[in-house]
Amino acid sequence: MVDIFFQDCVTKAPTALLVMNCTDVELSQFSSKDSPQMHIGLSMSGKVNVTQLTITAPEDSPNTDGVHVDRSEDVHITGSTIGTGDDCISIGPGSRFVTVDRIVCGPGHGVSVGSLGRDGANESVEYIDVRNVQFINTTNGARIKTWKGGKGYAKSISFTNINFTNVDHPVIINQFYEDRQDVSNTGAVALSNITYTNLNGTSTGKTAVDFDCSKNGSCMDIHVNTVAITAADGGATVARCQNAEVDTSGFVYPKIPCVANAASPSPANAPSPSPRLSS
């Protein structure tokens, strides 16, 4: 019954709460369970403060983003617990000055910037600050996703003080979202000034950091500072880097292969993950 419902309604199902064309919004202590599609949508709005959310949905429920932001600015999402079948928080086209702080995410697909540039669209996102987030048993963690052939930019994005517990893909930049069959297309959303600082925890997948960028030099100015992501099973993790311009500072594990100054710590020397952040 549930499967049939989602198959029939995934493109037509309502959002539980939609805030559109609004300014000076305060939303606090709001709970949403099993929304048929997105739980909260923030669209074409400004000066929005959202706090103390409790959002739950089955981990196999499609398109049930916890909070989706698009074409909005000066948005603050804080102090919340979100578990869904899609992104805990997604930050879509036209979003500026968005802060995500003190979030517990899981299950779900992580906190995503994007997707951007579908069907060649010219779309932008800028000044996004994601900090003090715990990802627990999620498929993704800190993710940026764009479509090949897209236009526009995503810049000034930071992920700070992030903890991963049993996350399949902790850190991802994916410029071939849902389509990696033909990577020759030169069009891509330009990514720049992307910063990762103080990330730690465990990965259930071998590739803990994956920067998969277009060949046209669209991933520039990526900064990685103090990262320690080990394997949940005690084995080694690796990083993959395609066509990205990255610099590192501090201890970084796993080693990022496209960085000339990266150290090469062994798994035995990688520090244990720090305790979970307070929610």
For residue 143, CA distances in Å to 33, 45, 165, 243, 250 come to: 24, 23, 16, 17, 22
Which residues are paired to 134 by β-bridges?
104, 163
Instruction: Say how many C-beta atoms besides its own lie within 10 A of residue 7's C-beta.
Output: 9
Instruction: Please answer whether residues 101 and 246 qualify as being in contact, where contact means their C-beta atoms are separated by less than 8 angstroms.
Output: no
Report d(CA 4, CA 57) in Å as an integer: 16
Residue with tokens 């739980």: 39
Instruction: Please answer whether residues 75 and 42 qualify as being in contact, where contact means their C-beta atoms are separated by less than 8 angstroms.
Output: yes
Instruction: Please answer whether residues 167 and 135 qualify as being in contact, where contact means their C-beta atoms are separated by less than 8 angstroms.
Output: yes
The verdict on whether 109 is a catalytic residue reads: yes
Instruction: Please answer whether residues 39 and 65 qualify as being in contact, where contact means their C-beta atoms are separated by less than 8 angstroms.
Output: yes
The answer for residues whose C-beta is within 8 angstroms of residue 234's C-beta and 6 or more apart is none
Q: Which two tokens stand for residue 201?
A: 């925890």
Report d(CA 97, CA 128) in Å as an integer: 6
Catalytic residue among 39, 68, 76, 109: 109
- Catalogue the active-site residues: 109
